[in-house]
């Protein structure tokens, strides 16, 4: 019942708050979050999971980035330590701090209004992922402040579903991520 209510609230409330920025700020404040800037301001989003694939980012989430670039964040590693659906047979992507690692992905330039929509599709505000601001760099080394998503995961990594890891691999290839990263994604075993 609670899940149905949340879905109904999200379906009707999110389109309203996206159009009325002061309501979006109030919604975020109610969750203890701060929503800064103006709705038309541009921000960069770092996608490392399924959002690297156009079917997830452009089609399912209905995002229309103004620009995209290949990029990476240093000091984090890619993990599959979240509980997915069906339970025990899927593990969505996550990142966790690791000073000796880096994660490659796609940098998308979007508006803050789009960011609020994207947040809502990732369950933010909510209890799983939370938004995090990071320093990234594009493939030519230009530094960019970006936001991404992180969650408190399990100690042990699971295996992503075959469908999910295929989205990551195909999205990485389509956007021209470096071959060593694509090989890394190919080495990840999917759940049976």
Cβ atoms of residues 33 and 26 within 8 Å? no
Coil vs helix vs strand at 94: strand
Tens-binned pLDDT, residue by residue, of the chain (192 aa): 666 776 666 667 777 777 788 888 888 888 888 899 999 999 999 999 999 999 999 999 989 999 999 999 999 999 999 887 766 667 889 999 999 999 999 999 999 999 999 998 888 877 778 899 999 999 999 999 999 999 998 899 988 999 999 999 999 999 999 999 999 999 999 987
Could you tell me which of 171, 184, 84, 160 has the C-alpha nearest to residue 128?
84
Q: pTM for this one?
A: 0.90
| Fold that domain 36-186 belongs to in CATH | Hypothetical upf0131 protein ytfp (3.10.490)
Instruction: Quote the tokens at residue 154.
Output: 């399990």
């Amino acid at each position: 019942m609670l899940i149905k209510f949340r879905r109904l609230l999200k379906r009707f409330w999110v389109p309203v708050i996206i159009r009325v920025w002061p309501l979006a700020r109030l919604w975020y404040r109610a969750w203890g979050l701060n929503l800064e800037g103006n709705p038309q301001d541009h921000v960069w989003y770092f996608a490392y999971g399924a959002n690297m694939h156009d079917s997830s980012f452009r089609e399912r989430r209905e995002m229309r980035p103004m620009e995209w670039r290949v990029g990476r964040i240093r000091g984090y590693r890619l993990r599959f330590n979240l509980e997915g659906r069906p339970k025990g047979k899927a593990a969505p992507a996550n990142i966790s701090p690791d000073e000796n690692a880096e994660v490659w992905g796609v940098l998308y330039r979007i508006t803050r209004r789009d960011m609020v929509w994207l947040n809502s599709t990732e369950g933010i505000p909510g209890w799983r992922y939370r938004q995090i601001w990071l320093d990234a760099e594009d493939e030519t080394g230009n530094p960019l402040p970006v936001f991404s998503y992180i969650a408190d995961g399990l100690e042990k990594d699971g295996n992503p579903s075959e469908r999910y890891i295929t989205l990551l691999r195909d999205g990485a290839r389509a956007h021209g991520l470096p071959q060593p990263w694509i090989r890394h994604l190919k080495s990840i075993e999917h759940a049976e």
